[in-house]
Amino acid sequence: MYNNIRLEKGMYHLSGKSFTEALETLDPTSQYADTPLAKLDAYERQLKRFDIRISGPNCDRVEKFFTTTESAVLFPEFIRRSIRQGIDSSVLSDISAAETKCSSSQYLGCELNDSVSYDTVSEQYDTLPKTEISEQTTPLILKKYARAIHISYEAVRRQRLDVLSVMLRSVGIKLGNAIVKAAVSVLKTEAGSTTAIAGSALAYSDLADLCGKFKDFSLNTVIASPAVLADILTMEQMVETSSQNPGKTMLPFGAQLLKTAQLDDNTIIGIDRDFALEMISGTDLILETDKLIDSQTSTITISVQAGFRSIMSDAIHVLTK
């Protein structure tokens, strides 16, 4: 069985540890190998300990968290996970080659100077062609994305937890889309090339031309607005690919087609997602945990810091109308 560890509000304020990490330290998942609880993390085991069901036909109501002072400590993590699920459902993970955690609001990344051609070198060559990797001189300032959610315990105490989770995930989705907008802006600004479409309307030949812009890298992701994606889906070349790749929208030459409303209808971005973009995350999703636990709050403030920079500009090419 799970350990009956003591839950306290202070577990949310440990330096360098999230609430779940604090739980894992006291109740390691490794000790549950080959047991029915093996697939649960430390937080999920505590939900099971207090018999709190957050989904399914027998889903509990919000007030179940506040049955005891210890079970109330689990409520902020429920809020955080619900909002985080919404953020993570955006295209961020599909367009980021790497995600870097940063403890500061400023980030100095590395840049690569690789302008010398990769030709053969004679044995008598005095100096080999040079590739330089150096620290950037100008720091990237992370932006803060925040929201105030007006809520009170009395208003939601009888609300089913799965319904509340849906509402919170929707907040997370919109917060995630705001972050995607910054990522799209960096991709457009740092693109290795920008090409206008050949005619007055988008044609499949324009997408093929975009694919041809990639030399050392590969076009494996195409980002478009909902309207442009709809235009692409009506192309006759797309008929067979839709049935061959259930769950994903793929172009005939193998690139995944992603939709985001944060991109305008006049721009299509093509990237090699393995080389194009770095996402820098500051603090994880921050909540006012004490107020949530005490069940007296009327406003929950949530915030997250993030920023983006291109890694290889020639892994990004843009097509415009």
In sequence order, the β-bridge partners of residue 305 are 144
| Environment class of 126 (CB within 10 Å of its CB; exposed 0-12, middle 13-18, buried 19+) | exposed
**Planar angle of CA 40, 69, 294, nearest 5 degrees:** 105
Cα–Cα dist 220/317, whole Å: 12
Would 264 be classed as within a structural domain? yes
1 pLDDT higher than 70? no
User: pLDDT value at position 121?
Assistant: 75
Would 222 be classed as within a structural domain? yes
Would 273 be classed as within a structural domain? yes
In sequence order, the β-bridge partners of residue 188 are none
pLDDT digits (tens, 9 = 90+) for 59-74: 999 999 999 999 999 9
| Ramachandran sector of residue 81 (left: φ over 0; alpha: ψ -120 to 50; beta: rest) | alpha
User: pLDDT value at position 36?
Assistant: 87
How many domains are contained in the chain? 1
User: pLDDT value at position 130?
Assistant: 85
Domain with 240, as residue range(s), is 183-278+310-320
In sequence order, the β-bridge partners of residue 100 are 280
Would 286 be classed as within a structural domain? no
251 pLDDT higher than 70? yes
The HSE-up count of residue 130 (CA atoms within 13 Å, CB side) is: 6
Would 289 be classed as within a structural domain? no
4 pLDDT higher than 80? no
Strand pairing report for 143-150 and 193-196: unpaired
Would 193 be classed as within a structural domain? yes
Contact present, 131 and 298 (Cβ < 8 Å): no
Mean pLDDT of 246-251: 80
User: Which residue has better confidence, 282 or 87?
Assistant: 87
pLDDT digits (tens, 9 = 90+) for 291-305: 777 766 667 788 889
Would 158 be classed as within a structural domain? no
Q: What is the CATH number of the domain that holds 189?
A: 3.30.2320.10
User: pLDDT value at position 243?
Assistant: 54
Would 115 be classed as within a structural domain? no
